[in-house]
Structure 1
């Protein structure tokens, strides 16, 4: 025997060959063993010793009954006999328990050993641990089963067509979409199942996906062999096996869209007809609106004129009657003082009514000018309470005012005073006995001023109307308070102009609570 350089290679001795063979056998990760005709171990390598947890010295000369459990030993020996009887090498799987008590799977290759005359002298075996492989296969199988179960439970159809155009997978929903059992389709060629499908767009999309590996989404109208038509939303995507088709049955939606289109056309005609009518009505409304604007202008001019014409003599009457009541134009007896006082109060009341009407007219005309300034609201509330206290005292009603020491606000001082006088005046007017309380509480970016009375209260059915102009509360005793019914309407309008609101809650025969909510800035 020569090497590549033509030099003779010295043949190893028999002892050296034996050492090399032993090194190979002990170095492999597979279990290697040899048995005699009686099943006694003659060779047992390191890997085999690790599996059974016994050194080779303890195993050599023993048979399988001394190493494995009875049922496992019986299985091994039956396999060995089968190999020796057949006289040829066989490969099969064996399941054994290792030294740690774990069940492991081995791929065993066994064959007979022979002497120089060819007689069978025993058996050799090589066992490879394939437990990780089998566990991975089991895990993969379970995942596939779960995936199969998940896809079968989907409402969307799922189909896979291979590169040879044969159906590979069809879930339950796709079976319904195809309107035929999956058993009749699996393994069949797509074009054989659907005659003339090559002429359709969906065929071209599938072909492109198979050849170019490009996905598509489309709405497809499909005509079945029985002549019926179905609409499907298709998502065609490339997968390693070929093409995956996700289908959603949108037949009902398409029918609804078609019906909707018919109704839409009808509706458009109705709209055109109605538009013509509305245009005619709009023209009439424009004419009426011009007349209303003209009437409103005349009303405003009248109110402006009457404001001057009524206020001038009223101020004279009020001023002169006040002078007379104070004795500045001569002494008066008691009866004269009483009559002059009635004239003065009636004049003041009439002036208040005129002012309310004019204020409402300004609000409706959008002619109210706000004078925003920074001031202490606590002072304003205290001063308003002081103004109302004589009126409350004249009725024998207590007036309580509770405010914080200081509360700066940016708003219209005069509008707030007017609202508080309206709310406080109403509370006193409708309270025959008890108390009226005014409380101010800052709440973050807002401030709340609550006017609470113990008066007659407001029936629930009238709460929604008390802020309407010229509306007054009617009580069971049919008493009707004096005034125009404009105070609350003006108060709410002013509050909203200032960015706030007026809230109300009331219980008949218990009292009412009005809350003015204002932003601090």
Structure 2
């Protein structure tokens, strides 16, 4: 094989690279001429693939030769069309006609087997012209591409000239391989030059874009910024408008990017922090910043993310615009709309919102629905002409007047759902709502008012007659100067002037107070809307009258007057002064009696204290002989002084028993005296309450057995409390002994229970019980109640009163439940 095949391979490789370069440029730039030239070089590549096939196989088939020539011709046509597109000119049709003629000639020459110089000349001349045209257009229109752009253009032209020799030298074996090699070299230069030109143009565009961006950013009112997320958050650029926006210069953020988050409003920091981490919000969003002077700045921000190969955000470019005024205006508008909506819907006044274009009722409040008798939804489907008794044309004229002439007050007659026609007073004016102007209409029913006005004229004469003929003195006063405008005959009689003479006077002429004081009273009456007060007025004969004056403002003929009713209370005032003197006397008497009672109470307390001391002293005096009596009777009963007969033993036992009883009474009196004198002392200690109750029950068992009474207990083990065991034992003993004493048949039961804070001891019996009226008296000292047989109960009347007082000393309470004839239950609760 000759060097021809390697030459074809070389130029085939160059064509592949050339088509790939232009198709790549088309994919990037989306320039149509690049795509056309890429397809041209692709056709040229196929042509060399065909020629290589012919060379390798040695085939000289006419079809392959025709395909070869037609692909060359197609390449030329596409190069010319791409050149026109590059030059920005419309593609003419002549070259296609020429190409068609050349194609026909080439096919005929191949079929007839004419020599190559005749068969190929037209094709390669067309191809060469197309190359030269492409080079010229490239030279003229490819700008800012550096020197390689010029080299590329010249290479196009050289290659076009080289195409002219193909029909002549293709058949020379010594030159064909060299020609293909030269063509491959030129293709490589064009491919390389096209890439370099593209890179140079891109660089120039970037430089111009950067300059434009800088000029725009430096002078833009909006904030423009560029940040880099990886490897750490940095601010690459921030426009000077940042200082106008939030008061800090760009250097503040360029030197310390993280400080940006500190200037974001706390409610928006999470969003900005996410953005600094690479998470961005699509579309415009609002962000609040804290200005250097402390006020809040609202911005509308738009971000654009640049991502790396993995899809992660690498850089964020953004623009922020100050929209504080807009946001505040929108907030104010929303608040205003909300207030209007609330006022409209909740108002007790009849309100309609009317479309001025066609009179349609756009909205109606509940008051309107109630007044007209239609539901709110029904009203929204109606026009104002459905309500107004005027015709549609007349209604349209009135609405036009309301909108254009700014008329706001109308009198109409409106129809209600029940057919009733009412006189209405309408206030209407344009208001902006949801981007349009509507007529806000307030309707007042004046049917009653008109009827009232008709009745008023009739009643005025009646009221005038009442004023003139009333027995109460009446004055009409002008509050501006206190002048008396009118007076009735009763007033004339009171003051001693005629009614006409009174109208020449002022209230200052009647009052004993100064004129300035009178004016102040009138002003306060007007402010308060009415006043009742007492004054001193002078009559014509010089006498001073105490008068009670009721004054209230009234409107007449558009002016304000004081309607005044005067009552002469001179006699009443005199009586009140006398009553005040007598009342003071009574208060002095009450004070004197109170002082006497205080002294008597003090004396009573002293007497009570003396009584307590006397009882205590007498009790101690009684204990000494009683102890002797009890002691000696015990010695006699045991026979230490000699044997006693039965009668003597019985009598000695009676002496001992009576002494023991009397000693108990004395001890009770002593205990009561100590308690009431406040001399009883407690000794608190940790006490086993279970053992204490068991001890009392064991001591009471002989007494219960003697009376034939059952003694039941419910005493859980281990219950303790911090208390005075001596006092508590006396309390339990008194209750158990009392139960045994007053129970003739049945049982006495003691129950002990406890909680975390307290314990309760309950002693119940099946004895005689108490009447309801005796339940409180049972705790009074020296009280002995009557039993069911009418007899007084035994005992001294001290046990339960002492028990109650001892319970209170321990900080507890005692409760009683009893039913007459069925027993009693006493519950003592003390803290643990």
Q: 1:354 aligns with which of 666, 670, 685?
A: 666
| Alpha-carbon shift at residue 96 of structure 1 (Å) | 12
Q: 2:815 aligns with which of 492, 503, 506?
A: 503
Q: Distance in 2 between matches of 1:512 and 1:378?
A: 23
1:76 aligns with 2:387: no
Q: Distance in 1 between matches of 2:826 and 2:717?
A: 22
Match of 1:423 in 2: 735
* 1:298–1:209 Cα change, 3 Å: closer
Match of 1:303 in 2: 619
Match of 2:714 in 1: 402
1:17-416 equivalences under 5 Å are 73=391, 76=394, 131-132=439-440, 134-135=441-442, 138=444, 190-193=482-485, 195-198=505-508, 204=516, 207=519, 220-222=533-535, 229-231=546-548, 258=577, 261-271=580-590, 274=593, 297=613, 299-311=615-627, 314-315=630-631, 317-318=633-634, 320=635, 324=638, 348-416=660-728
* 1:465–1:181 Cα change, 3 Å: same
Are the equivalent residues in 1 in contact too, given 2:615–2:670 (CA < 8 A)? no
Q: Distance in 1 between matches of 2:780 and 2:512?
A: 70
| Alpha-carbon shift at residue 430 of structure 1 (Å) | 1.4
Q: Distance in 1 between matches of 2:662 and 2:677?
A: 23
Match of 1:491 in 2: 803
Are the equivalent residues in 2 in contact too, given 1:96–1:105 (CA < 8 A)? no
Deviations 1:35-69 (A, max 9, x none): xxxxxxxxxxxx9756579xxxxxxxxxxxxxx88
The two structures have a TM-score, normalised by structure 2, of 0.35
| Alpha-carbon shift at residue 312 of structure 1 (Å) | 5.2
Match of 2:315 in 1: none
| Alpha-carbon shift at residue 455 of structure 1 (Å) | 1.0
Secondary structure of the equivalent of 2:783?
Answer: coil
Uncovered stretches (5+) of structure 2, i.e. residues with no partner: 1-354, 362-384, 399-404, 415-423, 430-435, 450-471, 486-501, 554-558
Deviations 1:145-203 (A, max 9, x none): 9xxxxxxxxxxxxxxxxxxxxxxxxxxxxxxxxx6789x66999643249542356697
Secondary structure of the equivalent of 2:483?
Answer: helix
Are the equivalent residues in 1 in contact too, given 2:615–2:669 (CA < 8 A)? no
Q: Distance in 1 between matches of 2:795 and 2:636?
A: 22
Are the equivalent residues in 2 in contact too, given 1:107–1:129 (CA < 8 A)? no
Q: Distance in 2 between matches of 1:106 and 1:476?
A: 90
Secondary structure of the equivalent of 2:827?
Answer: strand
Secondary structure of the equivalent of 1:466?
Answer: helix
Match of 2:213 in 1: none
Are the equivalent residues in 1 in contact too, given 2:686–2:723 (CA < 8 A)? yes
1:461-472 equivalences under 5 Å are 461-472=773-784
Match of 2:494 in 1: none
Q: Distance in 2 between matches of 1:222 and 1:494?
A: 68
Q: Distance in 2 between matches of 1:401 and 1:225?
A: 93
The two structures have a TM-score, normalised by structure 1, of 0.52
Secondary structure of the equivalent of 1:360?
Answer: helix
Which protein has the bigger helix share?
2
Match of 1:436 in 2: 748
Match of 2:763 in 1: 451
* 1:514–1:367 Cα change, 3 Å: same
* 1:365–1:74 Cα change, 3 Å: closer
Deviations 1:320-359 (A, max 9, x none): 579x49xx99999999998887676555444433322322
Q: Tell me the number of residue pairs that the alignment of Structure 1 and Structure 2 aligns.
A: 375
Are the equivalent residues in 2 in contact too, given 1:106–1:131 (CA < 8 A)? no
| Alpha-carbon shift at residue 468 of structure 1 (Å) | 3.0
Q: Distance in 1 between matches of 2:699 and 2:619?
A: 29
Deviations 1:377-400 (A, max 9, x none): 344333323332332233222222
Uncovered stretches (5+) of structure 1, i.e. residues with no partner: 1-46, 54-67, 81-88, 98-102, 109-127, 146-178
| Alpha-carbon shift at residue 207 of structure 1 (Å) | 4.6
Q: Distance in 1 between matches of 2:671 and 2:395?
A: 115
* 1:260–1:409 Cα change, 3 Å: farther
Secondary structure of the equivalent of 1:366?
Answer: coil
| Alpha-carbon shift at residue 306 of structure 1 (Å) | 3.2
* 1:201–1:424 Cα change, 3 Å: farther
| Alpha-carbon shift at residue 434 of structure 1 (Å) | 1.2
Are the equivalent residues in 2 in contact too, given 1:231–1:254 (CA < 8 A)? no
* 1:450–1:463 Cα change, 3 Å: same
Deviations 1:257-298 (A, max 9, x none): 75662332221453476579779x859x85x98788667655
Are the equivalent residues in 2 in contact too, given 1:105–1:129 (CA < 8 A)? no
CA RMSD of aligned residues (A): 6.1
1:516 aligns with 2:516: no
Are the equivalent residues in 2 in contact too, given 1:220–1:232 (CA < 8 A)? yes
Q: Distance in 2 between matches of 1:188 and 1:509?
A: 87
Q: Distance in 2 between matches of 1:231 and 1:104?
A: 42
Q: Which structure has more RCO (C-alpha within 8 Å, separation ≥ 6)?
A: 1
Secondary structure of the equivalent of 1:267?
Answer: helix
Deviations 1:425-477 (A, max 9, x none): 11111111112122334478554432221112234444443333333232243
Secondary structure of the equivalent of 1:353?
Answer: helix
